[in-house]
Chain A
Amino acid sequence: MMTATSRAPAGTEALRSLVHEVRNPLNVIKTSVYYLMNAQAPSREKLAEHLGRIERQVQALEAATIALRGGNIAAAPAEPSPRLSSSCRT
């Protein structure tokens, strides 16, 4: 019984940390999509910037899920390389 109650807060904390790791990339993805859908004729550079951000944050989410599978949320890389934006600039 003691073991069960001491595990619960640790699990909650891990979950909170995961939620935070997910919310930040989601925030960037959601706001970039909003911008792309609402901006009046954005420049090619702006399109590339936002697509680059979306890709970076998708990679951050991927890294978070991989880390979660391994039980280490903190291992997620902060800034993945922006490949999508490079391809868009061509």
Chain B
Amino acid sequence: MTETEHLQILAIEDDADAFANLRDILALDGHRVQGAPDARAALARVDLGEFDLILLDWLLPDLRGEAVLPVLRERAPEAAVVVVTGHSDLNAAIAALRQGAADYLLKPVDSQALRAGLVRLQQRRAIDAAMRAAQARALQAERLAAIGEMVAGLAHESRNALQRSQACLEMLVLRVAGQPELEGLIGRIGAAQSDLHRLYEDVRAYAAPIHLERRRCRADLIWREAWNQVEDSAGAGAGRLRESIAPGPLECLADTFRLRQVFRNLFENSLAASRPPAQVAVDARQVRERGRWLLRIGVRDRGAGLPESVRGRVFEPFFTTRTRGTGLGLAIAKRIVDAHEGTLELGDEAPPGAEFVITLPRALP
């Protein structure tokens, strides 16, 4: 959750007017409030764990707050529970706070204070989410470092073996000259070796720590260089790049080598998903999100698109729907964009084809 996301709130309140007012007031800030008129209705909900905040009337028709609160804490451990009551009972307030209530509000509720409290809750949630994400990234980096170390060692040991077998193959080609069937077999062995070599390189690239050398650069120049490189290796006429650029600067702070790699991986993915000649469209514009200016760059192909079963997994390492490739291209691209404090996500699933959307912080003028 980020600071600007709205809260999902459950109000357990038996007074219909009090509930309706809470709902209207909290809707002023975009929060979504659902209601339960008593403890039984609240505890019967299977989605209790999905709420960010639970407003609990301490004196409900069927149960008192001290009986409900522990169940809420257990069933919705992530939710903050705020007691709202008409009883100014010090002992009840102490009991509620000891049982894990985040706050204890006395009716008549000070709406301004309630709204301010929710802003603080949103900020705390955003900080918690950022910390969890940072911990997850650190854990992932640790795992990747271990994989990288192992693969680097494996690749080093295998390189000599691959070179020896390559030398043998080259000698063998000379001996079977004029025997197309055998030459074909040797060619296939060579291709398999290349695949193996590429697999090592891809895994190493994916697992290696990303150290960025950022500088001010123009995103359009980078994607054009990437397109030229992809076109060179795929062959002229393999595809056509169409650009749609909204007015405004396209400058960002990026590691140009790494960003080029991102575009290259996306373009290669687009070519693989399309029948030649592929039509790849890049749509770039500036957007303002959460007070920051971002570059939004969409890369869309005109292939068959991504089925629902694939959409959730495209950025998983080693996931691929193709018979060739390691399934690391998009995972590597996402890691690089993440390292730039940007995002790489699937875009609009409307046809034609599939769209990948990069957002990057725009360089300040």
Contacts and interface: CB of A to CB of B under 8 A. Distances in A.
Interface string A37-54: 011000000100110010
Contact of A23 (B21, B28, B86, B111): B86
Interface stretch (B102-110, B286-294, B299-307, B321-329): B102-110
B107 A23 contact: yes
Given A24-B86, A31-B109, A38 B28 contact: yes
Interface in B90-133: 106-109, 111-112
A34 B111 contact: yes
Given A19-B88, A24-B15, A28-B17, A39 B108 contact: no
Residue among B17, B18, B109 with max Cβ neighbours from chain A (10 Å): B17
B9 interface: no
A78 B33 CA distance: 24
A35 B24 contact: yes
A38 B20 CA distance: 16
A49 to B, nearest CB: 7
Contacts of B88: 19
Interface residues of B, number: 19
Given A19-B88, A20-B86, A27 B108 contact: yes
Nearest to B105: A27
Nearest to A31: B21
Nearest to B19: A28
Contact of A34 (B20, B106, B107, B112): B112
A46 to B, nearest CB: 7
Interface of A, secondary structure class, is helix
Residue among B22, B87, B88, B111 with max Cβ neighbours from chain A (10 Å): B111
Contacts of B109: 27, 30-31
B87 A39 contact: no
A23 B85 CA distance: 9
A53 B20 contact: yes
Contacts of B20: 49, 53
Given A20-B87, A31-B21, A35-B21, A26 B107 contact: yes
A26 B87 CA distance: 13
B17 A23 contact: no
A57 B108 CA distance: 12
A24 B28 contact: no
Given A16-B87, A20-B86, A34-B112, A27 B24 contact: no
A46 B20 CA distance: 11
Contacts of A34: 25, 111-112
Interface in A1-44: 16, 19-20, 23-24, 26-32, 34-35, 38-39
B86 A53 contact: no
Nearest to B24: A35
B21 to A, nearest CB: 4
Contacts of A50: 21, 24
Contacts of B107: 23-24, 26-27
Given A32-B21, A35-B25, 15 more contacts: A20-B87, A24-B18, A24-B107, A26-B108, A27-B18, A27-B107, A28-B15, A28-B18, A31-B25, A35-B21, A35-B28, A39-B28, A53-B17, A53-B20, A56-B17
Identify the 9 closest CB pairs spanning chains A and B, nearest first: A23-B86, A27-B107, A31-B21, A30-B108, A27-B108, A34-B111, A26-B108, A23-B107, A53-B17
Interface of B: 15, 17-18, 20-22, 24-25, 28, 59, 86-88, 106-109, 111-112
7 contacts: A20-B59, A23-B106, A24-B107, A27-B21, A27-B86, A28-B21, A38-B28
